[in-house]
Structure 1
């Protein structure tokens, strides 16, 4: 008889086949459409503000609504995957995203747009966690980091393509067509996922839902590991009122605190760089076009950086490469602002900062699922991403307050460089606490 634990070991050790890469591609497409859906409001903000006569504060609330929904989705929706499965969670989350985009296209009052952006954000938050977990679980140890980097790069690609198509659609059909296009594309993806997306092997073996063994063997056959795979004896779990309480058990406490610290520090730094760089460079003397160009270079570097991280981590340990990226990010951020008076140097270091920071995010997505066992993995991943989102929300606000207090841009960027080093320290101790093997 073949043992199920050997199936997990086989997946870890065997080359990844076409079926596994198809799952990675589906995750990347989900993330690509997330990039489009999340930034749809940013692409159409000027037209929406003009139609409804919005103040800056009202527009700010609308822009924040999606991020609020994403945070709530990561914290409260994603953990359902540990109870109902990764596949049902992703189908539910993609449905919410499609409904939110469709509702946004037909609003008559701007308050309803805020509501539908929260719904869209809830879906996106669930998708971010579900795709992270299922990509990790279907990847081999050697190619896991690269597979997650491919999936993670989808968000940036979706944002770039979304910007291009938004300009084309708005010019011809108005801003509502952008949301309608997002709803149609997301709905088509839902059909694809319903037909082809499998359930997680780890969920089938840990939770053992109805027909789990039959489903397990069907998936194993598609992977190219056909055999008479048996379910292990189902482990008895201590029931808790809230799944999150397991993250603070003796087994996971240190790992949880360390991965949360790393997520908060890296996402805080990333969103500070993304939010404030163009404005601060313009204030320092660049033209609007020059400051926006540097911002675009940071985004361009981001897509490349995620893939570079994945390739490096497939040769060395994911944690080791991530620690290196955090140190280099800190140095690059400080060098970037000190050399910002020269445009071409600022653009070069802008690309470098974008590449390294996005590589750090890919690294977090690689390590995060490996920190927790299958029965609480989505809960652990969701809360880590949610904590990172809180850092993302706080970063622009704290930076603005420090500017009002008299901090100059050099001091802000040096401060962010040191925040990145906090993540370095947390990641250094993470392996000894959680015994991660990546």
Structure 2
């Protein structure tokens, strides 16, 4: 029985219509993921006021969203390793879009929080499944930059959500953000059905004789000759295909590496969740800056987030990932301290916001990209999803700290100074990954992931 090397086939491909379609559609999924996760924090005071509640009452909604995101990362993301990335992306987009649209009709803040939590179950799965699909359909020499571009879409969604607060809030109310957040995922469904094939690597590891693999190969390269009785494998020396097992990310010497990645994601995503939920409110309550004014400044600064995401992908193809990512997190801690002390009216404040977004987005993007490099395809969606789920667990506590800081009348300097501790610890954890044998864990291309 002839063996066909899927890994070699993918890596030999030039960037063509299939790879561009996967990038654009999965990038749109990442865009709406970033839009929805960060949108609520930017309009939180308006939502609270509309329901007749004080700003700190929004902690309930933020906690519910984070619980949903954590549960979805642990429960839904692994399903992509069993049923397919494309199929589960379609289901996630459909359910998330419908629930988000339904949230507009909430009668109380509690109802909105419950629906937001349920929507989070499916929102959390979008990013890891999209990144897994991109990484498995892209040649090795373009993989990091393609993932970075998709994550730049996530940052663009973050920026676009600021437009709701800056321009749509007064005219159309907080509901306008939920309309956008619900319609776009539904638009992704026909694009996934028509333009995006299932991951070849997923199919090969599930069933080495799956006839659908031949159809996708011919779609990507009509010149390839297939006899019809091939066994599709990953690598010329590939072992018998293995089905995904839920706890593979802890086996074969990966336990210590996985534990450090989870700890880094917990602290990193706790910090992101805190600032996404509360930063506009911190400036309104602690510095008397209206959320509309802060939103305009923040929108400009999100250009830094896009640049940070693209830069980390380019740099990780050229430099030691662990040292590089650690540097980003040290810079993130410094930017949080600077944000608290530089006056909002100063021109330098915009520069600080841009730099903060650059290193925050680039650092988290670096962690996500690292996960795609050091875990095999059969467990990649689980690895990404569970690392994100661990991060969301920390994010459940972050909204509580934000409410506590407001209730206790903390200064902005104290609030952001405490928040800066987390990134420093992340920098240390990522450096420790160098001593876990991470370099011996092969990425999907068969090349040792640098550490």
Q: Output aligned runs, 1:377-388, within 5 Å.
A: 377-388=380-391
Distance 2:337 2:426 in 1: 11
The more displaced of 52-61 and 188-197 is 52-61
Distance 2:335 2:95 in 1: 39
Residue 415 (str. 1) matches residue 421 (str. 2): yes
Gaps of 5+ in 1: none
- 1:409 CA displacement: 5.1
Distance 1:343 1:428 in 2: 41
Residue 218 (str. 1) matches residue 212 (str. 2): no
Distance 1:102 1:134 in 2: 27
**How big is the alpha-carbon RMSD for the aligned residues of Structure 1 and Structure 2?**
3.6
- 1:102 CA displacement: 2.3
Match for residue 3 of structure 1? 3
Match for residue 68 of structure 1? 67
- 1:256 CA displacement: 1.0
Asked if the contact 1:145/1:318 (under 8 Å) is kept, the reply is: no
Pick one of 353, 366, 373 that aligns with 2:356.
Answer: 353
Alignment TM-score, normalising by the size of structure 1: 0.84
- 1:96 CA displacement: 1.2
The more displaced of 187-196 and 104-113 is 104-113
Distance 2:97 2:120 in 1: 11
Distance 1:88 1:14 in 2: 24
Match for residue 193 of structure 1? 192
Match for residue 343 of structure 1? 346
> Cα gap change, 1:130/1:414 in structure 2, threshold over 3 Å: closer, same or farther?
closer
Residue 257 (str. 1) matches residue 239 (str. 2): no
Residue 123 (str. 1) matches residue 122 (str. 2): yes
Distance 1:18 1:328 in 2: 38
The more displaced of 223-232 and 351-360 is 223-232
- 1:138 CA displacement: 1.4
The more displaced of 250-259 and 24-33 is 250-259
The more displaced of 306-315 and 48-57 is 48-57
Asked if the contact 2:81/2:382 (under 8 Å) is kept, the reply is: yes
Asked if the contact 2:334/2:420 (under 8 Å) is kept, the reply is: no
Tell me the alpha carbon deviations over residues 384-433 of structure 1, each in whole angstroms, 9 at most, x when there is no partner: 01112223333454577689698935752552452232233234335346
* Structure possessing the higher relative contact order (Cα contacts under 8 Å, 6 or more residues apart): 2
> Cα gap change, 1:15/1:261 in structure 2, threshold over 3 Å: closer, same or farther?
farther
Number of residue-to-residue matches in the alignment: 432
Distance 1:122 1:70 in 2: 5
Asked if the contact 1:87/1:198 (under 8 Å) is kept, the reply is: yes
Distance 1:214 1:262 in 2: 41
Match for residue 434 of structure 1? 441
Match for residue 140 of structure 1? 139
Distance 1:79 1:148 in 2: 19
Distance 2:323 2:12 in 1: 20
- 1:91 CA displacement: 1.0
- 1:37 CA displacement: 3.0
Residue 365 (str. 1) matches residue 368 (str. 2): yes
Q: Output aligned runs, 1:296-335, within 5 Å.
A: 296=299, 298-316=301-319, 318-319=321-322, 321-333=324-336
Distance 2:416 2:50 in 1: 39
Distance 1:203 1:226 in 2: 20
Alignment TM-score, normalising by the size of structure 2: 0.81
Distance 2:126 2:377 in 1: 17
Match for residue 18 of structure 2? 19
> Cα gap change, 1:86/1:206 in structure 2, threshold over 3 Å: closer, same or farther?
same
> Cα gap change, 1:193/1:359 in structure 2, threshold over 3 Å: closer, same or farther?
same
Match for residue 34 of structure 1? 33
> Cα gap change, 1:335/1:111 in structure 2, threshold over 3 Å: closer, same or farther?
closer
> Cα gap change, 1:255/1:14 in structure 2, threshold over 3 Å: closer, same or farther?
farther
Tell me the alpha carbon deviations over residues 40-83 of structure 1, each in whole angstroms, 9 at most, x when there is no partner: 54465455444433354543322332222111111111111111
Match for residue 98 of structure 1? 97
Gaps of 5+ in 2: none
Tell me the alpha carbon deviations over residues 312-342 of structure 1, each in whole angstroms, 9 at most, x when there is no partner: 2344455554344334434555565566699
Pick one of 255, 267, 270 that aligns with 2:269.
Answer: 267
Asked if the contact 2:158/2:302 (under 8 Å) is kept, the reply is: no
- 1:87 CA displacement: 1.4
Distance 2:178 2:290 in 1: 28
Distance 1:195 1:369 in 2: 26
Asked if the contact 1:79/1:382 (under 8 Å) is kept, the reply is: yes
Distance 2:313 2:201 in 1: 23
Asked if the contact 2:78/2:381 (under 8 Å) is kept, the reply is: yes
